[in-house]
């Protein structure tokens, strides 16, 4: 290999390394929490496992028009959780399902990262949960994503109002919530 070929190979390796570094940063850059939100601590992922009913959400394209929305969480292994989101598309008269995986970002806190699209993760932050793990308020990366979840198809008014206050203090416009028909 000539000196020029070696220099080209070194430059190509450096560029590839820089590109990989940017890809890794890009994959984790969306794993955040809104500035005024705080994830619950302590948080027990094992108690969070199971089926949750979506009570309300900030509308976004993947769930637009869906009713009867549920999320099922199950341990995949020691570090990963299966996430199965399911909802009924009223217009198309059929069920829609997405399967993803989640991992803890910060141990013993409600900071998780979730992926439905290969290596790209987004923040999934439990910012309120009752002591019995029956009701949860979940924030996404930013103020565009918020969910109220319950182990039942309904949520008591006092819990709902408390969670809406927490969301508002975190900066959410709760008037934009879509209330899910269960």
To the question of domain 32-179 being in CATH 3.90.1640.30, the answer is: no
- 54's tokens: 């979506």
pLDDT of the residue at 118 = 86
Pairing of strands 146-150, 135-139: antiparallel
pLDDT at site 20 = 39
Distance CA 37, CA 139 (A): 8
Q: What is the pLDDT at residue 4?
A: 58
Give the tokens for residue 71.
């999320």
pLDDT at 79: 86
Supply the Cα-derived Rg of the chain in whole angstroms: 20
The encoded tokens of residue 160 equal: 């709902």
Residues of the chain with pLDDT under 50: 7, 9, 11-29
Closest CA to 70 of 150, 134, 124: 150
Residues 6+ apart with CB under 8 A from 10: none
pTM: 0.83
* Residue 181: burial class (beta carbons within 10 Å; 0-12, 13-18, 19+): exposed
pLDDT of residue 134: 98
List phi, psi (to 5°) of 9: -65, -40
CA distance 181 to 35: 30
What are the tokens at 123?
Answer: 């923040």
Q: Where are the domains of the chain?
A: 1-30, 32-179
């Amino acid at each position: 290999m000539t000196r020029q070929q070696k220099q080209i190979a070194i430059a190509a390796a450096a560029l590839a390394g820089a590109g990989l570094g940017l890809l890794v940063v890009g994959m984790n850059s969306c794993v955040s929490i809104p500035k005024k939100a705080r994830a619950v601590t302590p948080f027990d992922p094992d108690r969070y496992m199971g089926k949750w009913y979506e009570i309300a959400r900030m509308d976004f394209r993947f769930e637009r028009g869906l009713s009867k929305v549920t999320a099922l969480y199950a341990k995949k292994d020691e570090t990963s959780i299966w996430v199965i989101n399911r909802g009924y598309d009223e217009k198309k008269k059929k069920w829609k399902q997405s399967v993803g995986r989640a991992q803890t970002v910060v141990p013993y806190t409600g900071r998780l990262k979730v992926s439905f699209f290969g290596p790209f993760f987004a923040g999934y932050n439990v910012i309120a949960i009752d002591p019995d793990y029956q009701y949860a308020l979940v924030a996404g990366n930013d103020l565009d994503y918020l969910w109220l979840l319950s182990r039942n198809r309904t949520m008591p008014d006092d819990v709902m109002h408390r969670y809406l206050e927490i969301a508002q203090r975190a900066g959410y416009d709760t008037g934009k919530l879509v209330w899910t028909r269960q």
